[in-house]
Amino acid sequence: MTASSGVVQPHIEEEGPGGAAHGTTGIDTALLGMMLFIASEIMFFAGLFGVYFNVRAATPVWPPEGIDFIEPLPLTGIGTVLLVLSSLTIQWAIWRIRKGDRTGLVRGLAVTLLLGVAFLGIQMYEYFHFVTEYSFGIDSGTYGTLFYTLTGFHGAHVFGGLVGISVILLRALQKQFSARHHIAVEAVSAYWHFVDVVWIALFITIYILK
């Protein structure tokens, strides 16, 4: 190398609080990646919501004749409460690990996992109930298709979130996280909050506003 003053080294990721990869300032890179991913998922649901609102606006009777069993209470309402609770519990888990409380983290994650599983269980029971009791399936007209596609893909995202929570729960049990290094927990919790927000939008749109 010649006498080259005025050169700097290539930019390398440095560590910062919460995670492994951290630029000199600003949001952690992995968390940024998760936020961008969530943005793309929002657009995915936007496509489905767009179709829902379009069809609804064009259909005089909505829900169509004979579909009077999509009610917010009791079951789906309970499921909603459980899911909202699970967002609170995972956030509590985050606050705990930020303070270095590994036990709190494990407990918070475990409860979140259970609440999420309960939500999915309620959803699956609802599906079963609709199909057997009312012969209401994905092929029951556009309304049926929309209902199952929207709630079904939401359920799939809940399942994905539960997989993520299981992974970080296992890692937490192996004491892999600390107050300074727990970026995976931050990322998974962001995803979980997103899943919850989508559910609230879905619940209000399909079950309440109708």
Per CB under 8 A, residues contacting other proteins are: 1-2, 4-15, 20-21, 23-24, 26, 29-30, 32-33, 36-37, 39-48, 50-51, 54-55, 58-59, 64, 137-139, 141-146, 149, 153
Q: Closest separation between CB of residue 179 and other proteins, Å?
A: 19
Q: Closest separation between CB of residue 63 and other proteins, Å?
A: 11
Query: What six digits make up the tokens of 201?
Result: 């939008």
Q: Closest separation between CB of residue 78 and other proteins, Å?
A: 28
Look-up: residue for tokens 């007209």?
141
Residue 54, CB-side half-sphere exposure with 13 Å CA sphere: 8
Q: Closest separation between CB of residue 34 and other proteins, Å?
A: 9
Sign of the alpha-carbon torsion through 171, 197, 43, 186 = negative
In whole angstroms, what separates CA 118 from the centre of its chain?
15
Distance CA 77, CA 103 (A): 31
Q: Closest separation between CB of residue 8 and other proteins, Å?
A: 4
Closer of 37 and 207 to other proteins (Cβ): 37
| Type of residue at 140 | S
Closer of 60 and 74 to other proteins (Cβ): 60
Query: What six digits make up the tokens of 13?
Result: 């990721």
Closer of 10 and 74 to other proteins (Cβ): 10
Closer of 30 and 75 to other proteins (Cβ): 30
Closer of 4 and 174 to other proteins (Cβ): 4
Characterize 19-56 residue by residue with b for buried, 16 or more Cβ atoms within 10 angstroms of its Cβ, and e for exposed: bebbeeeeebbbbeebeeebeebeeebeeebeebeeeb
